[in-house]
């Protein structure tokens, strides 16, 4: 088995379920030690650590609230204390609160920004002192950053679209160190947050060129590529994994 990330240390935020769990499994399968954070899915986190270990990989779960910058710093310091450095940061944690603007509360707005945007900035700041030249930062954005064909997700789309400017700016700031910063933009993916076999799930296929939900592993493969040795010249990019949703 190819292990292009052998010896690397990775952090994946929001990694206990869905896309995050698939990313953790893939990076571990590629040889990295993967520390992933979770907030409330303790049972799922423990099962994922066990599954990765059973497959020959190395992982640990850290309880951490993505909306709390101090918790992000504490998670990073725990990993650095055990492994000495961080080579890969995957900012995956995110939330989607639906609601038309006239009924959307400022509290929901603030929490969306805190988890989907501020946590990315805080995570990068926490990791950078411990990331050597040639590190990798990958943010999980959304195809909705480019296309929003339904109502009720304006704030979610805004929070994901903002990651584009952040990644492009960070790519400039960190380019001299060979650290790449990229966004992966999934379309509808079959997880418990957006299951395919529901009325809403099926309705999304009308907007797509490939009329099915994606699989978490298909997103994880893009993250693994961007984290690996073949992606050294890709930075500041928004890479769609969306079945043509934004085409």
- Residues catalogued as catalytic: 156
Token pair of 192, please?
């418990």
Instruction: Name 211's Cβ contacts closer than 8 Å, sequence gap at least 6.
Output: 205, 243
Q: Which residues fall within 8 angstroms of residue 74, CB to CB, at 6 or more apart?
A: 64
Name every residue whose Cβ is closer than 8 Å to that of residue 102 and which is 6 or more positions away in sequence: none
Phi, psi of 43, rounded to the nearest 5 degrees = -65, -45
Q: Which of 55, 6, 9, 52 is nearest to 31 (CA)?
A: 6
């Amino acid at each position: 088995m190819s292990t292009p990330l052998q010896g690397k240390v990775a952090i994946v935020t929001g990694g206990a379920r869905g896309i995050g769990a698939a990313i953790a499994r893939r990076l571990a399968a590629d040889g990295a030690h993967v520390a992933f954070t979770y907030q409330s899915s303790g049972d799922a986190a423990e099962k994922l650590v066990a599954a990765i270990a059973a497959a020959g990989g190395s992982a640990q779960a850290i309880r951490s609230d993505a909306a709390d910058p101090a918790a992000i710093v504490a998670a990073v310091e725990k990993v650095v204390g055990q492994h000495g450095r961080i080579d890969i940061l995957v900012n995956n944690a995110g939330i989607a609160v639906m609601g038309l603007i006239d009924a959307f509360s400022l509290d929901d707005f603030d929490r969306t920004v805190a988890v989907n945007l501020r946590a990315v900035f805080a995570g990068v700041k926490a990791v950078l002192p411990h990331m050597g030249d040639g590190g990798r930062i990958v943010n999980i954005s959304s195809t909705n950053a480019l296309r929003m064909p339904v109502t009720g997700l304006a704030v979610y789309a805004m929070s994901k679209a903002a990651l584009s400017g952040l990644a492009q700016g960070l790519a400039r700031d960190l380019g001299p160190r060979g650290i790449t910063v990229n966004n992966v933009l999934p379309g509808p993916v079959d997880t418990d947050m957006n299951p395919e076999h529901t009325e809403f799930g099926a309705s999304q296929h009308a907007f797509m060129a490939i009329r099915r939900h994606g699989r978490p592993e298909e997103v994880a493969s893009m993250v693994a590529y961007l984290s690996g040795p073949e992606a050294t010249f890709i930075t500041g990019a928004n890479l769609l994994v969306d079945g043509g949703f934004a085409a």
